[in-house]
Structure 1
Amino acid sequence: MDRTTWHDGQTPLNILVLGARLGGAVIPLVWSMLPHQGNCCTAARILLVARLLKVLPARRWAVVIADREFVGRAWCAFLRWKRIRQCIRLRKNTRIADELVRDLFTTLQPREVRTLFERTWVYGGWMHVVITLSPTGDRVIVASDLPVLDVLNTYRLRWAIESACSSLKSRGPNLEATHMTAPARISRLFGRLCIALAWMTRVGAQRTATHAPRLNNRGRAVVSVTRIGWQILTQAARWGGDDFWDCLRLLGMPFPTASTSVSRSVRC
């Protein structure tokens, strides 16, 4: 879950997005136009999740991953009520066990990972709390009801929804360039672009399944799955022929099964 925002002149545009990770990318499934700038309220998040639950039951949800904007007792209680696991970054001023989380493990070094010895009471429920320090010195505090060894690896997947939203804007079809401000029109256009994003990602996933992508020194793909699909799809649409029909058939086919990541050990 995340928000994507931009301005058209003096008009702020704000979309709350909930998506699923498929083929190495996040595909937005439901979204809501927010009538204001800034963070969304708990009710807006609950309504968005409820919309998706109508077509995708909770038993098929692996986990909800969200940034520190999406916290709160009522929100976490709702997810627990629906039996949806959560992996959420905490704000530094969050209080657990009568102590601010920013005061935990003050001697933490960059890239070092620590966790509390046992589950602790966070926003009305028992969750694991894992803390790490980024190379830039930013303290990342994540609470989750997942197994403790899976918490950080799961939270790292959150960047994919930010990448998906940017792929729909300046890095892709350039949603901002439409200069639309009517919420209903933007919502419809956003939906069409999400279909295009899913198509590009599916084509890219098919290619990377048979041709391993080139990796950089950190072991990350130089070109994303979505970008690979976009390159293939634009060429196929331009020249037509069998390549285009092959891409079109992929749009109706399921994504390959995601591989399971290896957990990383942490210290208490």
Structure 2
Amino acid sequence: MRLPRHHLLTFACGRQQAIADLGLSRGQTRRFAHCQVDGVWGQVWVKALAGNDFLFLFGNVGLAYMDQLYAKRWTIEQCFQNLKGRGFNLEATHLRCRHKLRKLVALVSLAYACCLSVGTLADQKLRPIARKNHGYRATSLSRHGLNVLRQLTRPSTCPDHPLARLVERLLDWLARQLLNLHLTKIVG
């Protein structure tokens, strides 16, 4: 889990230290195997960020890959944030029927995957996403794809536009995949 910087580290010898007092320069990381934070023993991973800020992770997973696990979790969190809002607004539904909700979630997930694919291709081949000062993208890949798709559905867009051809190829591929899909119905 990610913790705020004001939590103190308590080492096995009883000594306490604040994260800011570790003397880390920007980009530098430190790992501590057996530390106590708020009365709980675990592993600590700290990275110094820009602006005297820190990424402070605490958990009981292997210390060698704690940062990689957090990166994977962050990707999933971004997906959930995008599905709940940011153009997909899944939380705004008033459906109560479980079967209809399942279908809606499936369709929104397909739309999200389509937007993510279009955004990735557009970022790599046509129009890269601008980077902010901290190095992260100004918009997410899925949002970039959604913006591209919105632009392509406007009446003024030329069908010979490279993005239009790219999206048309992607949709053709998706249609072929769905036509070749043989669903197995389990009786019971």
Distance 2:87 2:133 in 1: 26
- Aligned residues of 2:129 and 2:144 also touching (Cα < 8 A): no
User: Equivalent residues in 2 for 1:1-268 (5 A)?
Assistant: 89=1, 103-104=10-11, 106-110=16-20, 113-116=30-33, 129-132=43-46, 140-145=57-62, 148=64, 150-210=65-125, 211-239=127-155, 241-242=159-160, 243-250=163-170, 252=173
2:182 equivalent in structure 1: none
Distance 2:82 2:143 in 1: 9
CA offset at residue 195 of structure 1?
A: 0.5
> Of Structure 1 and Structure 2, which has the larger fraction of its residues in helix?
2
1:40 equivalent in structure 2: none
Matched residue SS, 2:59: strand
Identity across matched positions, percent:
24
Distance 1:172 1:152 in 2: 29
Segments of structure 2 that go 5 or more residues without pairing to the other structure are 4-8, 35-41, 175-188
Distance 1:103 1:248 in 2: 58
Change (3 A) 1:234 1:114: same
Structure 1 stretch displaced more, 156-165 or 197-206: 156-165
Amino acid at match of 1:115: F
Distance 2:151 2:68 in 1: 35
Instruction: Let me know the Cα RMSD of the aligned residues.
Output: 3.4
Matched length? 143
Matched residue SS, 2:46: strand
CA offset at residue 175 of structure 1?
A: 1.5
In the superposition, the TM-score normalised over structure 1's length comes to: 0.44
